[in-house]
Structure 1
């Protein structure tokens, strides 16, 4: 506490602490039965809480509420070191000129980063350089997904530092070459993209998707003699299960921390997470679907994503892009979600889900490794069908 401030206001710190302690001593601690009574007042006394649960795929059924005694929360749980996230626009214009204009529009709307989709046609080196120049002038970073520009990036180390190239060496290799492929050396502008969902069925559980992501990262670490530890980006699709999705990102940080300790990687490389909110088609109304995207974005931010990319609900509509971009501004400037590094910490419900997801994902990751790692498990059909 600031001494000059306490002196100015005549605050006796010792007396204040004594009175505060006395204040809390006047209230008896709440038991789980006390909380259950409050819940029953809300949902009706005819319900039996012992029979109410949320059956989540690949996890233990989630109960309606948890208390401090039921979680294994640790103060050492790894969290991100920054409070806010990077606002990222999804650029999917097929025409190069339209993509360039979208970058400028995104920057004017407050975006800090633009993700250049594979859909963007960049056939000439001059177009590629003009795109980078436009982003540099607008003050935004670029993340390239497209392999079509690889012929322009041989001298990637000479390219401006605001440009990052994603590599997914597994997805970009043909199935027949997977068992014999080698990781090419990384340049300073490249990150290895990891997305376990690319190899899972639509019904795969959250722990399974995380386990597959870990197994891919493990292959990268093994192939690069651990040198890729600080060059991995986890690309995570965020869905509509509000609390489990918050817990999923928090669990991913715990899992990465565990993996770094297991591999004995020095320097404790941080987890870099890009959360992706895909276009929603859950209802016939695009504006109702936009509201679903808002809750998914909330899950990503509360879970601690580093980069948040929300797909517009109408790619052909500039209004759609602006409204989608404003979701970031509302969460950051009005809801102040960017003021705390781990907003969900201390929520017994989210802490319990985080612990459950992390433990189950780690168990499944261990089984993938016992089966020979990601490549062997993929070949044996274990990964897509969630058979662990």
Structure 2
């Protein structure tokens, strides 16, 4: 390694820097312990019929969402390697593969996940706590609507995962294989702006720890083209952007840690208040 030593000897000495007082005086924030993801996020898509199922599968999705009526029309189509989220009564369905059921009634002796969807984190946590720890269901799939603000969207996903781990700890037991999904809604803007908004919502959700993304159809475009764009946004972020390779990339960022802590405190306070009211009303 003589060449390396020669290079080091020829390098100029490091300059001396003087660190002044910070412009903003704040107490350092301790990084939160956000639970690690169990796997990479799933590229998913809503489908309305068998043709859309086939085009989504050809487009490389790992998960599908559909009505129970749509699922019943798929016949012998092999979906055993995919994750399927079913909305609507599913009592008469023959479960095949990895299913997430969102509505009662459901098939007897069903062992998959129970899907819970909503716009408000407190409602999701209360429903999940009831399903998993009171009804002893075992595992749950969260689907939370994304926010347009990049930082709020990222912080709410970190908050949801942190508080669910806290609820598990309070119940002195760990739930089954739970998953955290994000619904990417339309923002009501033109199609080009909608694509940009969809991309930034997806990026922040992934960085916050989502392991399932599902987008609404982008308006103003031909339906199949809009569905293809929706898939490709996720494919680019996953296979070219390599997002999701790092667990909790926001960890250690003062702004994001502080924002998440404030959101955790506010959400937890509202959760306890709502939970106590529900108990007293019984």
- Rg comparison, structure with higher value: 1
Rounded to whole Å, the distance in 2 between the matches of 1:351 and 1:333 is: 27
8 Å CA contact retained: 1:104, 1:134? no
| 3-state secondary structure, aligned to 2:64 | strand
Q: Which runs of 5+ in 2 are unaligned?
A: 6-12
Residue 274, structure 1, aligned to residue 167, structure 2: no
| Alignment: residue pair count | 275
User: What is the aligned partner in structure 1 of residue 79 from structure 2?
Assistant: 135
Sort the Cα spacing of 1:77 and 1:26 in 2 relative to 1 into closer, same or farther, 3 A.
Answer: farther
User: What is the aligned partner in structure 1 of residue 129 from structure 2?
Assistant: 218
Rounded to whole Å, the distance in 1 between the matches of 2:50 and 2:134 is: 36
Q: Deviations over 1:98-121 (max 9, x none)?
A: x21212211221211111146x55
User: What is the aligned partner in structure 2 of residue 114 from structure 1?
Assistant: 64
TM-score (norm 1): 0.62
Residue 100, structure 1, aligned to residue 53, structure 2: no
User: What is the aligned partner in structure 1 of residue 102 from structure 2?
Assistant: 167
Residue 259, structure 1, aligned to residue 175, structure 2: no
Deviation (angstroms), 1:356: 0.8
Q: Deviations over 1:332-359 (max 9, x none)?
A: 1222212212121121111111111111
| 3-state secondary structure, aligned to 2:210 | coil
Alignment of 1:12-23 (within 5 A): none
User: What is the aligned partner in structure 2 of residue 152 from structure 1?
Assistant: 93
User: What is the aligned partner in structure 2 of residue 241 from structure 1?
Assistant: 149
Sort the Cα spacing of 1:185 and 1:231 in 2 relative to 1 into closer, same or farther, 3 A.
Answer: farther
Deviation (angstroms), 1:270: 5.7
1:356 to 262, 274, 277: 262
The RMSD of aligned alpha carbons is 3.3
Sort the Cα spacing of 1:128 and 1:319 in 2 relative to 1 into closer, same or farther, 3 A.
Answer: closer
User: What is the aligned partner in structure 2 of residue 77 from structure 1?
Assistant: 34
Deviation (angstroms), 1:140: 3.5
| 3-state secondary structure, aligned to 2:183 | strand
Alignment of 1:190-339 (within 5 A): 191-197=113-119, 209-224=120-135, 227-228=136-137, 230-265=138-173, 267=174, 269=176, 271-281=178-188, 283=189, 285-314=190-219, 317-339=223-245
8 Å CA contact retained: 2:100, 2:141? no
Q: Which has the higher helix share?
A: 1
| 3-state secondary structure, aligned to 1:344 | coil
1:88 to 30, 34, 44: 44
Residue 32, structure 1, aligned to residue 22, structure 2: yes
| 3-state secondary structure, aligned to 1:234 | strand
| 3-state secondary structure, aligned to 1:254 | helix
